[in-house]
Structure 1
Amino acid sequence: MSTPALPSGAKYRIVAVADSDSYLKFACATLDGLGPEWEREVLLVRSPIQPTLEQVTAATAGTFCAGRATKVITASGLRTALAGADVVLAAATGPVVEEIYLHASTLSPRPALVSGLPGVAFPATKKALRYRALGDAFITHSHAESRAFSDQIEELGQPQRILVSRLPFLSSPGQPVQDETKLQRVVFAPQAKVPVEKDERIAILQALAGLARRSGFTVRVKLRAWAGEPQTHLEQYPFDELWHELVNSHAVAGHELEFCTGSMAEQLTPGTAMVTVSSTAALEALDAGLPVLILSDFGVSDEMLNKVFDGSGLLGTLADLKAGRFFQPEQSWLRDNYFHKQDVPLGHVLAIYAGWARAGKLGVDRDRLAASRKRRLRIRLRTLLPGPALKAIRWARKLQSDQANQRMQADQTAHQLPA
């Protein structure tokens, strides 16, 4: 596979469009790994999950985007923003990817359309691929992911290529080297969607607090966002809110845990262990050679978003957490899941697509285009609302969460009343 030759001094142009903090991190890190033959730009499309300034700072840390203002555009400005791109990386949630692709498909010559998910992509779903049906390529980050999405693509009959790359924020060239520093800190990485139940989340906080009291370790909860701030997924019971409830009810003293946001990389220093139910942060910890605990008390399944860790050697329980037991991964699991050797750099493959785009070899499938347009109303509701409406949506999401918490507390109070 040879890279198309460029005239002396010429560069390919790639534009990435993100809509949330996790996708922005993925976009910046992916483009950061491309070679000097690329002119790179990262944009944010305005949406209800648009990251805050603090989240943008964390997502861009350590990349060429750090310290730069990330341009925010509306969906109506996508066509203009993408004009002249050889490759468009749609680093966004499914409906927004489809909107990006629809605008890019009207350009002549049409740029190559590429997308991917920002972390662990299991379970592989047809829904995710349908939103990306206009794309030329879909980036996976492990051999296991590649097999799973290839099966889905085949069933859908979409002529989209499945690429295998490395998660761009993993820096080890292959299998990581184990950190031998004495354990001093424990970092918990929450996942917005799991576990679902409030009492399950409280159990995690209590186990973390118990570990802090018994071990003397610094125990930190590294949040992706503070309660009420936008995230890729709505979090019904934010951990910082639950902690305040525990403190106010005197279930904990309050000093046991530290809470923070910002860059995950800053937390993963030598002498640290990672605990999570399901988070890509576990892979970042493994990349740094740190021990990890994947909590299995609430199930190991596609629904819990942690089935990928089955066979990893990392699964444990709240009892392990309380006892300070953390694990190193099975080597065979690492090879199949995210820590494979990258033989062909992603930039090399994207350059081939860029060459095809410049040569006008990338057409538009009319049937797939028509199917995508049928979903346009939902996409537009997500990306074309005026600023006040977006604020109203965010406020409504926060209100919904507060009301759910109040109902839960009312139910608990009712159960405690004498018959």
Structure 2
Amino acid sequence: MTGRSGRAPRIVAVADTDSYVKWAAALLGAEGEGVDAALLVLDTPLVVSDGQLRAALAGSGLPAERVERIAYAGLAARLTQLRPDAVLLGARGPLVRVLAREIAQLDPRPVLVSGLPGISIPATRKAVVYRMQCDLFVVHSRREVREFGALSARTGYAHRYALATLPFARGASATADGARGTDLVFATQAKVPAEREDRLRIARLLVAAAEADSTRRVVVKLRAAAGEHQTHLEEDGYPELLASLGPLPANLVTSTEPMRRALASAEGLVTVSSTAAIEAIAQGIPVIALDMFGVSPKLINETLADADLLAGERDVIGRRFRHPDPEWLDENYFHPPADDDWTAAVARLVARRADGSLPPREPLVRRGGALRDAWERRVALGRSDTSAAGAVAYAIGMPSRAAVRLATRARRALSRTADAGTGAIANATAERTEEAGDHVRGDADRRLRAGR
């Protein structure tokens, strides 16, 4: 991809959390000399540690010297110095919205690109709305292009979508069948499943799998070491759950090494719906997607179910891993790399920006004005936002949030005393009221972690 001047376009990524830093680094690193790439790791409450950053860069193709940490207060000035043709915003939705609003004010305004770091089915309204001010939305399969396009048509939230091979699926064949290791690798997730009892059930399963064959390891691949942040809050971590079960088999271990390294010694991968399944498939490693909790959008496992990867507890203990249905591959993450069009789409947008035919996209109109903007910035950036407006908005917004939540609880309590029909109506009204209140005033704890 080259610009009008004949040089490679300069794309600067801005990312903060583990999954987004890994995604942004790999997405740009995969383009090699086709782009002049750099990565700014933004200091936020969930920013990666040095260890997480090293793991994210391992095998990404992006040299460490093209990566730097930066505080929010210095971001605009640094981007002005770098003069990127495009900025790739690799972050949770609420932070993308804040950054897009701020970066759109730069002169010259760079093309704004965003995307999601893994399996993005089902397509969600929230993912699109948070990224409305970006010029391009990158997704990773033909199915995702189709489903996000249908979502935009259905909701009226129009967007430009482009296709990029999921960077973790590059450089290997999904049909490879080389020599494998002997580890059963379990890819943990912070939010799936959500309930403690379900996560404890998985922990017990891992113990049973280790006890079934003491000569082979069961590796619990963690997303972060103790004290490190993740993109999503993990309330019931597997180290704590496993410890609650008493003495553990010696061949049951935990690991925070990069997924690429963990898979190097894997016989097979087990997960509920982690994108690590795609990474494993790319290396010819078979997978079990746990069927213990059903299939639903909430579990993000519909795509893996369509691949015929679902299996149960006995299959895990017996290590009866599965390869995906070959017909599934082309529509889901394993299309020919030649079909990728995201860099071409960026080049077209950069050219339009240069000739003045690319107007900035307007942000979604919301109630609250400047105070709302300041609240969203403070919630997304935490203490990294040192502005007076942010402090004022936070001081006003937190009591408002508490009041809305209290009123919602009261309405729900009243609804439970009504008859079934009236109760259902009241509960639906309460939920709509809560959603509206949250839309205006926000929820600091949830918004910090939420948003795809």
Tell me the distance in 1 between the aligned counterparts of 2:222 and 2:51: 12
Distance verdict in 2 for CA 1:16–1:367, change over 3 Å: closer
State how far apart, in whole Å, the 1-side matches of 2:244 and 2:37 are.
Answer: 45
| Structure 2: gaps spanning 5 or more residues | 387-452
Is 1:25 aligned with 2:22?
yes
Comparing 88-97 with 28-37, greater Cα deviation is found at: 28-37
Is residue 320 of structure 1 aligned with residue 315 of structure 2?
yes
Deviations 1:285-309 (A, max 9, x none): 0000011000010121111111221
Please say if 1:297 is aligned against 2:292. yes
Q: Higher mean Cα deviation, 288-297 or 318-327?
A: 318-327
Deviation digits for residues 99-127 of structure 1 (CA, Å, limit 9, x no counterpart): 22112211223211110000111221111
Shift in Å, 1:65: 3.7
Amino acid at match of 2:381: T
d(CA) in 1 for partners of 2:225 and 2:4? Answer: 46
Question: Given that residues 98 and 376 in structure 2 are in contact (C-alpha distance below 8 angstroms), is that contact kept between their aligned partners in structure 1?
Answer: no
**1:333 to 1:87, Cα distance in 2 relative to 1, 3 A:** same
Deviations 1:24-59 (A, max 9, x none): 000100111224242211011111111111111111
Residue type at the aligned position of 1:347: T
Q: Distance in 2 between matches of 1:291 and 1:366?
A: 45
When residues 293 and 104 of structure 1 are mapped into structure 2, their CA distance, relative to the original with a 3 A threshold, is same
| Matching residue of 2:111 | 112
Structure 1 pair 75–115 and aligned structure 2 pair: CA distance change class (3 A): same
Tell me which of 307, 326, 332 is aligned to 1:331. 326
- CA contact 2:210–2:249 (8 Å) conserved in 1: no
Counterpart Cα distance in 2 of 1:49 and 1:367: 25
CA contact (8 A) 2:133 2:362 kept: no
The C-alpha deviation readout for 1:287-341, integer Å capped at 9, x for no partner, is 0001100001012111111122122111001121112111111011111111111
Match of 2:379 in 1: 381
Once the two structures are superposed, the pairs formed by residues 10-159 of structure 1 within 5 Å of their partners are: 10-68=7-65, 70-83=67-80, 84-159=83-158
Structure 1: how far apart are the matches of 2:184 and 2:261? Answer: 13
Deviations 1:359-399 (A, max 9, x none): 333222446477796444123232151499xxxxxxxxxxx
Of the three residues 345, 348, 358, the one matched with 1:349 is 345
CA distance in 1, matches of 2:374, 2:183: 47
Separation (CA, whole Å) in 1 of partners of 2:65 and 2:255 = 23
1:239/1:369 CA distance change after superposition, 3 Å: same
The one-letter code sitting in structure 2 at the alignment partner of 1:273 is: G
DSSP 3-state at the match of 2:236: coil
Deviations 1:5-30 (A, max 9, x none): 5435x332111000201000001001
The CA RMSD measured in Å over matched residues stands at 2.4
Residues 138/294 of structure 1: CA separation in 2 closer, same or farther (3 Å cut) = same
Separation in structure 2 between the aligned mates of residue 367 and residue 312 of structure 1, nearest angstrom: 37
Q: 1:369 to 1:18 in 2, by over 3 A?
A: farther
CA distance in 1, matches of 2:263, 2:363: 47
Normalising by structure 2, report the TM-score: 0.78
Question: Cα–Cα, structure 1 residues 370 and 236, in superposed 2: closer, same or farther, change >3 Å?
Answer: closer
The answer on whether the counterparts of 2:10 and 2:37 sit within 8 Å (CA) in structure 1 is yes
**SS where residue 208 of structure 2 aligns?**
helix
Give yes or no for contact 2:90–2:96 (8 Å, CA) kept in 1: yes
Q: 204, 207, 220: which one pairs with 1:206?
A: 204
Cα 1:376–1:335 change in 2 (3 A) is: farther
Q: How big is the shift at 1:181? A: 2.9
Counterpart residue type for residue 354 of structure 1? V
CA distance 1:24–1:181, change in 2 (3 Å): same
Local SS of the residue matching 2:297: coil
Is the 1:209–1:256 contact (alpha carbons within 8 Å) kept by the matching residues of 2?
no
The answer on whether the counterparts of 2:2 and 2:8 sit within 8 Å (CA) in structure 1 is: no
Among 176, 179, 195, the alignment partner of 1:178 is 176
Kindly state the Cα deviation for residue 224 of structure 1 after the two structures are TM-superposed. 0.6
Q: Deviations over 1:75-113 (max 9, x none)?
A: 333322322111110000011111221122112232111
Structure 2 CA distance for partners of 1:67 and 1:200, relative to 1, 3 Å: same
User: How many pairs does the alignment contain?
Assistant: 380
Question: What is the DSSP-based 3-state SS (H/G/I as helix, E as strand, rest coil) of the residue aligned with 1:382?
Answer: helix
* CA distance in 2 between partners of 1:370 and 1:299 (Å): 37
Residues 1:362 and 2:358 are matched in the alignment: yes
Asked if 2 retains the 8 angstrom alpha-carbon contact of 1:293 and 1:326, the reply is yes
Q: Once the 2 structures are TM-superposed, how far is the Cα of residue 71 of structure 1 from its aligned partner?
A: 2.2
Percentage identity across paired residues of the two chains: 35
Unaligned runs of 5+ in 1: 389-419
Tell me if the contact between 2:133 and 2:363 (Cα under 8 Å) persists in the aligned partners: no
Aligned partner of 2:218 in structure 1 is 219
More helix by share: 2
User: 1:110–1:362: 8 Å Cα contact kept in structure 2?
Assistant: no
Cα distance between partner residues in 1 of 2:23 and 2:87: 14
Query: Is structure 2 residue 306 aligned with structure 1 residue 311?
Result: yes
AA at the equivalent of 2:332: N
**Whole-angstrom CA distance in 1 between matches of 2:351 and 2:66:** 30
| Partner Cα separation in structure 1 for residue 122 and residue 377 of structure 2 | 23
Give the direction of change, closer, same or farther, for the CA distance of 1:130–1:14 in structure 2 (3 Å limit): same
